[in-house]
Amino acid sequence: MAWSPFLLLSLVSLAFSTPLNRRWDDFVEKHSWGAVIPKGWQFHSSPSPDTLIDLRLGLKSARIDELFHHLGQTSDPDHERYGNHLSKEQVEELVAPHTDTVSMVEEWLAHHGYQGSAASPAGDWVTIRLPVKDAERMLSAEYGLYHHPSSKDTVLRTLSYSLPRALLGHVDTVSPTTYFGTFKSMRATSFLMPEVDLDPDAVPPATCDRRITPDCLKTLYDAANYTQQASSRNSLGVAGYLDEFANRADLQTFLRQFVPARTGTNFTTVRVNGGGDDQSIPGVEANLDIQYTVGISAPIPNTYYSTGGSPPFNPDSNTPTNTNEPYLDWLNFILSQSSIPLVFTTSYGDDEQTVPPDYATKVCDLFAQLGARGSSILFSSGDDGVGAGDCTTNDGQNRVQFQPEFPSSCPFVTAVGGTTRTNPEVAVDFSGGSFSNLFARPDYQTAAVTTFLNQLGTTNNGLFKYVFRYIRQTFLTLFISISKTGRAYPDIAAQGTNFQVIVGGKVTSVGGTSASSPTAAAIIALLNDVRLAAGKSSLGFLNPFIYKNGAAFNDITSGNNPGCGTNGFDAGVGWDPVTGMGTPNFAKLRLVV
């Protein structure tokens, strides 16, 4: 791959020697919000023209369709290649840009006096540091500083950007441009709940309707009597952001109180992009995640990834500021590692309609790369049912429409909804679930979702009919309307209320699908243990396995997920957009892995 500093002089010479061969001022709009600032944001001020920005180019991968083909085969339990995951090098070979793409982008950068540096091991992401005034000229854009009052975040973004026509089909996305999402502005998928007084002598399962502990979850999901056999070859990762730090002292208090046999078990913290590890500031979200992944999966090694990238805003600064976007730093870091955890859990999400399609698709492809390498990627499905607030569209028409969440809507992640109560489990009313307006329904869920839609009939008609499929073409990006054929989520569910978490040495009750995702991830880690002990590979990308083994999940048949002024969807027999295929039954699942 190129992106070498030694190429700069030759590329600059090339640019000056062929000024008429390429029209770098013939622009085609890549994405625009029009004149409407995304909801929740306000224009703050214009940046200094000399403010530096780290511009990232997501280049078109030459053989990305081959990656999807491999992933489809290696994740299909009925295929002879099931479990034969790709190596890091094989994935990088498939997602690397074509040499023509590299040459074209280098020529464009050199024309403006710049060179790029590889920001990903495959070279499909390139970074350029440059003043805002040059970024505006190169992208036919106008950057501004925008403020998000509720999160107090201020970012450098533009309402629209364009690319030279010659680059269409070579550059998939540019960031930061029109995606206003940050982890600070995203809705949290966990929240504090009222404390519950219980009989101190009561034990699971009698206590579990009102207070969830690891013993409750292992009993409920039939994993209480399993003993790990291949822990040294297994691994589980928790993605953390927003200066949320998992506290080691709190973990020991948690284990002593709730999992005494695992007292002394710890986790590893890996810092990404300036992420911290301040043990004096325990995070509710971080502690929830690590206490339940460790509490259920130990002694399987757990790693907490503390990802930074949200520097304090300083309008007078001449250094890159607030140009980070969710997931990119973490994903490119993970993909650069030679060895990665076999399961990941993440608990953040945003309205899909606020994420530009080019950015969402490129990030979704990065999750596919992780799946192809044998990792299972789980995301909480969100805590707003079918949508929060007034649920109006941001396309200028102000239609009321269900609001799916991203990344849960990405077909290469496993979205985890929420349940409550234990005898029986029922869908919790905040469980996020709907149909994507961006990603087409993948084949692995066609049968299950079609059955649900046939039973649904005309209920909620018009609230999730504006569905689109993203079509990649060499020189043009199209959106084709397809009624009710969007990627459906969640895929599975797990408990999501009354989790007992130690924060600052004290018990706190926490709820949300942020509790559901680490719970499910820990169960998947136990299933990987079963496979590894039998000499098999990890489960990897889970969804084809889930939909072909629905009978191994506890079907949740009551409850709903209201939102947008409606009752949302109802949980019922089979898959539904509240609890997916249901909650995991480890005893059944271990027989089919």
The residue annotated as part of the active site, out of 107, 285, 351, 358, is 285
Q: d(Cα 218, Cα 212) in Å, to the nearest integer?
A: 10
Residue 456, token pair as written in the block: 């649904």
CA 327 to chain centre: 7
Q: d(Cα 252, Cα 11) in Å, to the nearest integer?
A: 57
278 is known as an active-site residue = no
Q: d(Cα 388, Cα 541) in Å, to the nearest integer?
A: 29
Residue 377 marked as a ligand binder: no
The residue annotated as part of the active site, out of 381, 514, 516, 517, is 514
HSE value, Cβ hemisphere, 13 Å, CA-based, for 263: 7
29 is known as an active-site residue = no
The residue type at 535: G
- Identify whether the C-beta of residue 487 lies closer than 8 Å to the C-beta of residue 439: yes
- Residues contacting 404, CB < 8 A, separation 6+: 351, 352, 434, 435, 436, 437, 486, 489
Query: First vs last Cα of the chain: how many Å apart?
Result: 39
Q: What's the CA angle centered on 113, arms 107 and 119, to 5 degrees?
A: 70
Residue 52, token pair as written in the block: 């530096």
Q: d(Cα 337, Cα 182) in Å, to the nearest integer?
A: 24
The residue annotated as part of the active site, out of 76, 243, 289, 384, is 289
- Calculate the dihedral angle through the C-alpha atoms of 228, 231, 233, 236, rounding to the nearest 10 degrees: 100
Q: d(Cα 455, Cα 573) in Å, to the nearest integer?
A: 10
Would you give the DSSP letter of residue 568? -
- Identify whether the C-beta of residue 515 lies closer than 8 Å to the C-beta of residue 500: no
Would you give the DSSP letter of residue 85? P
Residue 50 marked as a ligand binder: no
Among 215, 236, 260, which Cα is nearest to 344's?
A: 236
Residue 556 marked as a ligand binder: yes
Q: What are phi and psi of 570, to 5 degrees?
A: -100, 140
H helices, E strands: number in the chain: 14, 29
Other CB atoms within a 10 A radius of the CB of residue 231 amount to 17
Going by DSSP bridges, is the β-strand pair 348-351/27-32 parallel, antiparallel, or unpaired? unpaired
434 is known as an active-site residue = no
Write the DSSP string, 333-355: HHHH-SS--SEEEE-EEEEGGGS
- The CA-based diameter of the chain, rounded to the nearest angstrom, is 83
- Residues contacting 422, CB < 8 A, separation 6+: 205, 208, 209, 216, 220, 495
Residues annotated as catalytic are 285, 289, 514
Q: Residues at the annotated binding site for Ca(2+)?
A: 555-556, 574, 576
Residues belonging to the binding site are 555-556, 574, 576
